[in-house]
């Protein structure tokens, strides 16, 4: 996939083997618990805040689908550990993410990270 990611789009989380085995059962269970399909869909998406969109554009950061999938996986790992606001370090980029809302709040390139202090985070995930 060499398709470019456009800023402001929503993207599905990565598909795991467990979700491949029982997608219908998982969907039916969520629907029975009162969640609409639209809500289920939105709960699995990574969003970009307006601020993050501006920073991506200003700093010339373009995410490929493979990179976004790795970021989504990092958000899943942070959520599994109970994180609320995480710093995700990926190659020469950093992202501050609100884990509960699955929203990237801001994005930094390597030049912007120099001598920077990250505050109001409770976790960090390093993607290799």
Checking if the pLDDT of 26 tops 90, the result is no
Residue 109 lies in a domain: yes
Residue 99 lies in a domain: yes
pLDDT number for residue 75: 96
Q: How confident is the model at residue 115 (pLDDT cuts 50, 70, 90)?
A: confident
Sheet with 85-90: list strands edge to edge: 11-12, 45-48, 103-109, 93-98, 85-90, 123-127
pTM greater than 0.85 (yes/no): no
Checking if the pLDDT of 4 tops 60, the result is no
* pLDDT tens-digit series, residues 49-91: 999 999 999 999 999 999 999 999 999 999 999 999 999 999 9
More confident residue, 78 or 27: 78
Residue 57 lies in a domain: yes
The rounded percent of the chain whose pLDDT value lies above 90 is 59
Nearest of 80, 64, 65, 90 to residue 12 by alpha carbon: 65
DSSP class per residue in 30-49: HHHTT--HHHHHHHTEEEE-
Residue 71 lies in a domain: yes
Phi, psi of 115 (to 5 degrees): 55, 30
Checking if the pLDDT of 104 tops 70, the result is yes
Checking if the pLDDT of 98 tops 60, the result is yes
Residue 3 lies in a domain: no
Domain count, the chain: 1
Averaged over 96-105, what is the pLDDT?
96
Checking if the pLDDT of 99 tops 50, the result is yes
CA distance 87 to 117: 11
Residue 69 lies in a domain: yes
DSSP class per residue in 63-107: --HHHHHHHHHHHHHHHHTT-SEEEEEETTEEEEEETTTTEEEEE
Sorted by sequence, the CB contacts under 8 Å of residue 92 that are 6+ apart come out as 109, 110
Neighbours of 54 (CB within 10 A): 14
Q: Contact 62/119 with Cβ under 8 angstroms?
A: no
pLDDT number for residue 45: 80
Domain span holding position 66: 11-127
């Amino acid at each position: 996939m060499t398709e470019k990611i456009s800023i402001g789009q929503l993207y599905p989380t990565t598909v795991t083997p467990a979700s491949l085995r029982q997608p219908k059962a998982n969907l039916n269970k969520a629907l029975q618990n009162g969640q609409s399909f639209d809500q289920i869909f939105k709960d699995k998406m990574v969003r970009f805040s307006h601020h993050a969109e501006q920073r991506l554009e200003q700093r010339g950061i373009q995410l490929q689908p493979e990179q976004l999938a790795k970021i989504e996986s990092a958000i899943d790992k942070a959520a599994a550990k109970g994180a609320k606001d995480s710093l995700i370090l990926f190659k020469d980029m950093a992202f501050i993410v609100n884990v509960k809302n699955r929203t990237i709040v801001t994005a930094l390139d390597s030049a912007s990270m120099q001598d920077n202090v990250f505050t109001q985070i409770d976790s960090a995930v390093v993607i290799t």
